[in-house]
Amino acid sequence: MFTFITFLVYTLFVALYAWYRLRKEKLGSQDGYFLGGRSLTGIVIAGSMLLTNISTEHLIGMNGSSYKNGFIVIGWEVTSALALIVAAVYFIPKYLKMGLSTIPQYLENRFDGVLRSYVAFFLMISFVVTLLPIVLYTGAINLESIFNISDLLNVSKDDALLITVIAVGLIGSLYAILGGLKAVAFSDTINGYGLLIGGLAVPLLALMSIGDGNPLDGLSKVYEFAPKKFNVIGERDSVLPFEVLFTGLIVNQIYFWCMNQTIIQRALGAKNLKEAQKGLLFTGLLKIFIPLVIILPGVIGFYYFGDSMYSSQDMIYPEIIKKVLPASFVGLFAAIVMGAVLSTFNSVLNSSATIFSLDLYKRHFNPNASDKKLVFVGKLTSAVLAVFAILVAPFVARAPEGLYQMLQQLNGIFFIPIASIMLAGFFTKHISALAAKVALFVGLTFYVLTTFVFDTGIHFVHIWGIEFLINLAIMFLISHYYPNENQFRIKDLKLVTMEHWKYTKPFSIFLCLVTLLIYITMGSFNQ
């Protein structure tokens, strides 16, 4: 009972905090609902970005992967800091200058409206079919483990997971529907920093237990038990080979942190360029330290359980929680986990609603739609997509390499083709709209065939890199015969102040050095 009460108190506190901060906000306008009134600060942006990115697909999936594969999966996280530097220095100044509300909006400005619609449609599919169901399912796994919902309701575990998926989906959708981006961002800020504190408590308590009160002794014992698990250099046949950092992974990271609507929408809602850059770079710092929350516990799990749970690796994190957390903290941690689930879920819903309302509905169905109408359509879209995600979630239960690995594989279907045309659009004037459209569909088809239909024996992240190069070659070839006729130039709409944050460069250099230091100190090419 105490566990449930602490869970309820924390959850209500976050909801009341968001309501209090929003009580005087005008959410009826397009910018007010979809972009938080372009008033977000760096701290809020960083907290929201972190929790939009880090959810139970990381707590469950990433810890499950590190339990089996060790620290080599850190590449997914620490290289994010480098991509966030690129976002802060290059992309966000251009986005804010153009006054973008969505990423597909840029594609219309640079290429044409048809490409904008294609990409908007693909993004909607990727959100609803991949990310939202996995977030719901992994959240349900964690909550079921903590509260033993199956026992409380006297139902099977599968039924308990389904009930939890429905409950989380309904609650999460309310944030996105009622409060828009600003409600999501404020709740994310509290939950984000709560996740850092609560998430760090899990490995700290575990290491203290192992080291008889001294966490450093505990860490030493874990390392001595399985030193290979601490190596960050993945071998060629591993789940994340080191070489992919220089092929497809960097393309994926650039897309995810610089062009992904769900992530970059927080920076688009910044009150000025300075706050946007702060938010992006603070997120980069948090991403460097987040492996202590989403990777280290999995390695500690190997110390506790050996390889006995390799066949069910995604259950390792809930088992660690039950083993190390005092009963008095379980409810609080469950609330933090719930917050992480809700954050990513409602963030993706908000971004999906933004894309549908502005890139599809307004463009194709009602060009003269009022702000009030667009907000209504956005809320309706969130509700429909939430229901769909709830229905799809139970089908992601079995993933041979773990849920996180499956998420990345599915993301590649759309992320890499979109990244290729975005980067080509920014860095060369010669690429035509026709070339971008052909590359989009060729890249998508190529990846599906080489990853899910034919066994090429090539790691899917390497395929991302190959796909990227093929897309570029196609775009240059077609543009040679059908040249670009759109002489696009970025115009400053003067919606926000464009003064750069004075610490952008030194902070960026610091993040680069820390990332390099991690690979130097923890890397071994011969283990």
pLDDT on residue 296: 96
102: amino acid identity, one letter: T
Q: Under a CB-based contact definition with an 8 Å cutoff, are residues 426 and 258 in contact?
A: no
Helix (H, G, I), strand (E, B) or coil at 102: coil
Give the homologous superfamily in CATH for domain 33-487+501-521: Sodium/glucose cotransporter (1.20.1730.10)
Determine the Cα–Cα distance for residues 191 and 196; give it in Å rounded to an integer: 9
Close Cβ partners of 525 (under 8 Å, ≥ 6 residues apart): 233, 242
- pTM of the full predicted structure? 0.85
Determine the Cα–Cα distance for residues 51 and 45; give it in Å rounded to an integer: 10
Residue 54 carries which DSSP code? -
What is the radius of gyration, based on Cα positions, of the chain?
22
Determine the Cα–Cα distance for residues 126 and 367; give it in Å rounded to an integer: 25
Backbone angles phi, psi at 40, to 5 degrees: -75, 140
315: tokens are: 């259950």
Q: Under a CB-based contact definition with an 8 Å cutoff, are residues 146 and 415 in contact?
A: no
pLDDT on residue 400: 46
Q: Under a CB-based contact definition with an 8 Å cutoff, are residues 433 and 486 in contact?
A: yes
CA 524 to chain centre: 29
515: tokens are: 């990332």
Q: Under a CB-based contact definition with an 8 Å cutoff, are residues 406 and 134 in contact?
A: yes
Q: Which of 86, 92, 186, 173 is nearest to 136 (CA)?
A: 173
pLDDT on residue 280: 97
Determine the Cα–Cα distance for residues 357 and 296; give it in Å rounded to an integer: 41
Determine the Cα–Cα distance for residues 268 and 30; give it in Å rounded to an integer: 13
Residue-level pLDDT, tens digit, the chain, 527 residues? 566 677 677 667 766 766 666 555 555 555 556 666 677 889 889 988 887 788 777 888 889 999 999 999 999 899 999 999 999 999 999 999 999 888 899 999 899 889 999 998 888 888 777 778 877 887 787 777 777 778 878 888 878 888 888 887 887 777 666 655 566 666 767 777 777 888 888 999 999 999 999 999 999 999 999 999 999 998 888 888 999 888 889 999 999 999 988 889 889 989 999 999 999 999 999 999 999 999 999 999 999 999 999 988 878 988 888 888 887 777 777 777 777 777 777 778 878 888 888 888 888 888 888 888 888 888 888 888 888 888 877 776 555 455 566 677 777 888 899 999 999 999 888 899 999 999 999 999 999 999 888 888 888 889 999 999 999 999 999 999 999 887 788 888 888 899 999 999 999 999 999 999 999 999 875 54
- Where do the structural domains in the chain lie, given as residue ranges? 33-487+501-521
Determine the Cα–Cα distance for residues 397 and 393; give it in Å rounded to an integer: 8
pLDDT on residue 519: 93
pLDDT on residue 83: 96
Q: Under a CB-based contact definition with an 8 Å cutoff, are residues 92 and 272 in contact?
A: no
